[in-house]
Structure 1
């Protein structure tokens, strides 16, 4: 792992830890997710109630790779995307920056990572069909049909409307963007 990969992983895990810490301070316990015995995750940390479990983001120890996606597409994905999606398993959680509110798209478990790969391929194929620059989504905004993406060539972070060309640059890279974010904890 290169120094930049380690920095991005560290920023993402630190942001996750801040979310959990702030949630605990506000609610007195870990975040809670609805139970689903068919969709288990290493994030789950015990029972909260009959219908819910505690959870927290955890470092991915599985060997996850985008090699199959890159082979199918015939080109390499930007390294920031690969590092982002293979660093932590997590439920979605809310964040804010000066541009508004957002949430990450992170895998919940290994099967979710496989499903994520399929969605990345579908997104890229749509971009190619529309003859638009290749981007890879990594987050959702608080506006319908607007996503956060990384330009596959430059690594820049952009906002784009689904099906449209990215229209607003937010940061030069994913690491810079993560540094602008603050977790949001609701009552």
Structure 2
């Protein structure tokens, strides 16, 4: 892992820790909660609070591999083979650093919801969605992007330009229209959790 990828991984981990800390500070030291689904379990789940609710916290994927709770690090090799394309290292680092529920955030350009994989099964679903998104971009003869966040506006996503690593806002099916940051690492220096 290059130093820039280590920096990005650390930024993601720090952001996730800040999210939990802020939530606990505002909610009597309780962890964030989310809907509980018996069919959609995750190593993020701390405890079941009710039939349809559980507490959770982001968890480092490297820690799960180290503790042999998952067999091997997550990889985008199958996506790259299916598309005959190399994904930008930043997006691979972003999605393989933590398992987490989505996290609400704020940046200079407005509110966004950062997307993460909840579990290994969710990581597989994420990969399928990324393949579909990139195939759509190729069909439209647009530069490949990989989404990693959504905004308050239903049809605007935040994505990474696969060629340059820049972060852009784009309408689904359209070319990116507003540059948000030079890189994912730069984005994390200016994004705040709003737990």
Give the structure-1-normalised TM-score: 0.97
Matched, 1:87 2:61: no
Contiguous gaps of at least 5 residues in structure 2: none
Aligned-pair CA distance for 1:165: 0.1
Find 1:156's aligned residue among 151, 166, 188. 166
For the residue of structure 2 that corresponds to 1:81, the secondary structure is helix
Contiguous gaps of at least 5 residues in structure 1: none
Which deviates further from its counterpart, 48-57 or 171-180? 48-57
Q: Residues of 1 paired with 2:138 and 2:56: CA distance?
A: 37
Number of aligned positions between the proteins: 185
Map 1:31-180 → 2, pairs under 5 A? 31-60=32-61, 61=65, 62=70, 63-180=73-190
Aligned-pair CA distance for 1:52: 1.1
Q: Residues of 2 paired with 1:153 and 1:34: CA distance?
A: 37
Is the contact made by 2:59 and 2:98 (CA closer than 8 Å) also made in structure 1?
yes
Aligned-pair CA distance for 1:51: 2.5
Q: Residues of 1 paired with 2:184 and 2:44: CA distance?
A: 23
Q: Residues of 2 paired with 1:40 and 1:51: CA distance?
A: 12
Task: Spell out, residue by residue over 1:45-103, the C-alpha distance to the aligned partner (whole angstroms, 9 max, x if none).
Answer: 01223321110000013421000110111110000000000000000121001111001
Q: Residues of 2 paired with 1:17 and 1:102: CA distance?
A: 18
C-alpha RMSD of the superposition = 0.9
Q: Residues of 2 paired with 1:87 and 1:32: CA distance?
A: 21
For the residue of structure 2 that corresponds to 1:48, the secondary structure is strand
For the residue of structure 1 that corresponds to 2:54, the secondary structure is strand
Aligned-pair CA distance for 1:105: 1.4
Q: Residues of 2 paired with 1:22 and 1:104: CA distance?
A: 16
Residue 5 of structure 1: aligned partner: 5
Q: Residues of 2 paired with 1:49 and 1:37: CA distance?
A: 12
Task: Spell out, residue by residue over 1:134-175, the C-alpha distance to the aligned partner (whole angstroms, 9 max, x if none).
Answer: 100000011110000000000000000000000001111110
Matched, 1:21 2:31: no
Q: Residues of 1 paired with 2:117 and 2:148: CA distance?
A: 11
